[in-house]
């Protein structure tokens, strides 16, 4: 089987997760180089992980290293341009979230995919745990009955030191608050489990931090199935938790974790345990446990590259999640209910995720 040559751009904390992802592929991916604008940090990172080459210029690295895969872990404001440049250089891309700043930027990425024949996948590793595949297949097979009510909470805590990093807390560089930077993972996971959303009503506010972007958002969502969901995204919660709950006709399914999960983090509560023998037998037939890691997603992308197929979190699936996040901001900043498919070219929220309407932060 082919070995793919990879490079990494961005050597901050999340860069370590990408190194572990490469190591988990059993040699299918080889990390040839890493890039950071801070030369000393790039060299230290490469020495620590035994990466052959350290670069400080992204364009030069693409030209010199000629990678098959580019792993992007740079600040969010750079993601779209870096993804397009990587595809133009002949590489496939696995890019940290948020993938881009707007639907307009996403459509430019999609155009580059068509033009180059390469693919860009957003890092949504929550989809790739084997336990998630199992639970989702049971839902789709009707074991739990029709989904009715859902909860999706990303209750995290970020202090002033976190937001003191120059690119954080700004629309132009972080691209949003917990809606885009933290809760995006669980919301994408919820959409993966429940399918098409049809409308959303939301609020987004900055309650505490001295930042441009929101530090809390809340949404009420309707799905094509008729199911309803409530969502909270926050960086104001000292007791941190990530929680998804799906109340279906015959059972409640729960997932409780923080930044990653395995099968032990799932819980099933049948409505009637006495008659749930078949449901419980199906539930307990979990496959070998692979958690919600970058490595699980990279392994899946390698399989896509082998087969010439689109990664799960590229194309329409990635756009659906970005459109949903955009709808949250539009609903919050216009006070309206936003329907799926309504944000098109010509809408201010198509070109800027906040639509130019995010309130100015007044400290106090």
Mean pLDDT of 330-351: 98
φ, ψ of residue 277 in degrees (nearest 5): -60, -50
- Across the beta sheet with 236-248, the strand order is 266-270, 251-257, 236-248, 147-157, 228-234, 216-223, 197-205, 338-339
CA distances to 19, 20, 25, 336 from 16, in Å: 5, 6, 15, 41
Structure tokens at 19: 């190194």
Residue recorded with tokens 């052959």: 52
pLDDT of residue 360: 78
Quote the CA–CA distance of 112 and 138 in Å, as a whole number.
36
Mean pLDDT of 237-262: 98
pLDDT at 363 over 80: no
φ, ψ of residue 180 in degrees (nearest 5): -95, -35
Domain ranges in the chain are: 4-122, 126-294
Q: Which residues contact 316 (CB under 8 A, 6 or more apart)?
A: none
Mean pLDDT of the chain: 97
pLDDT of residue 362: 52
Q: Model confidence over 31-43: pLDDT tens digits?
A: 999 999 999 999 9
Distance of CA 338 to the CA centre of its chain: 22
- 6 three-state secondary structure: strand
Q: Which CATH superfamily is domain 126-294 in?
A: Dihydrodipicolinate Reductase; domain 2 (3.30.360.10)
CATH class of 4-122: alpha beta
φ, ψ of residue 287 in degrees (nearest 5): -75, 175
DSSP state of 3: P
Distance of CA 294 to the CA centre of its chain: 11
Structure tokens at 141: 């097979």
Quote the CA–CA distance of 297 and 122 in Å, as a whole number.
10
φ, ψ of residue 141 in degrees (nearest 5): -80, -5
pLDDT of residue 364: 42
């Amino acid at each position: 089987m082919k070995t793919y040559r990879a490079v990494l751009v961005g050597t901050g904390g999340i860069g370590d997760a990408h190194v572990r992802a490469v190591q988990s592929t059993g040699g299918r991916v080889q990390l040839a180089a890493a890039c950071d604008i801070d030369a000393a940090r790039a060299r230290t990172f490469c020495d620590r992980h035994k990466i052959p080459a350290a670069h400080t210029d992204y364009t030069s690295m693409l030209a010199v290293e000629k990678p098959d895969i580019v792993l992007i872990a740079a600040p969010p404001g750079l993601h779209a341009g870096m993804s397009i440049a990587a595809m133009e250089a002949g590489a496939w891309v696995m890019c940290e979230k948020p993938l881009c700043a707007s639907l307009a930027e996403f459509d430019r990425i999609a155009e580059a995919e068509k033009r180059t024949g390469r693919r860009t996948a957003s890092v949504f590793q929550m989809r790739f745990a084997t336990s998630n595949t199992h639970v989702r297949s049971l839902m789709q097979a009707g074991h739990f009955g029709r989904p009715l009510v859902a909860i999706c909470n990303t209750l995290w805590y970020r202090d002033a030191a976190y937001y003191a990093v120059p690119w954080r807390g700004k629309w132009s560089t972080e691209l949003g608050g917990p809606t885009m930077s933290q809760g995006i993972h669980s919301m994408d996971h919820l959409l993966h489990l429940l399918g098409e959303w049809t409308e959303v009503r939301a609020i987004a506010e900055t309650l505490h931090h001295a930042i441009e972007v929101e530090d809390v958002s809340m949404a009420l969502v309707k799905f094509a199935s008729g199911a309803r969901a409530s969502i909270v995204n926050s960086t104001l919660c000292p007791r941190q938790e990530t929680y998804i709950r799906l109340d279906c006709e015959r059972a409640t399914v729960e997932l409780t974790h923080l930044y990653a999960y395995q099968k032990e983090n799932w819980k099933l509560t049948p409505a009637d345990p006495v008659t749930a023998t078949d449901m419980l037998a199906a539930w307990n037939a979990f496959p070998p446990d692979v958690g919600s890691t970058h490595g699980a997603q990279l392994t899946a992308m390698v399989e896509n590259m082998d087969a010439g197929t689109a990664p799960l979190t590229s194309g329409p699936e990635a756009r659906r999640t970005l459109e949903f996040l955009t709808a949250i901001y539009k609903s919050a900043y216009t006070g309206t209910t936003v329907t799926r498919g309504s944000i098109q070219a010509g809408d201010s929220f198509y070109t800027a995720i906040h639509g130019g309407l995010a309130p100015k932060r007044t400290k106090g």
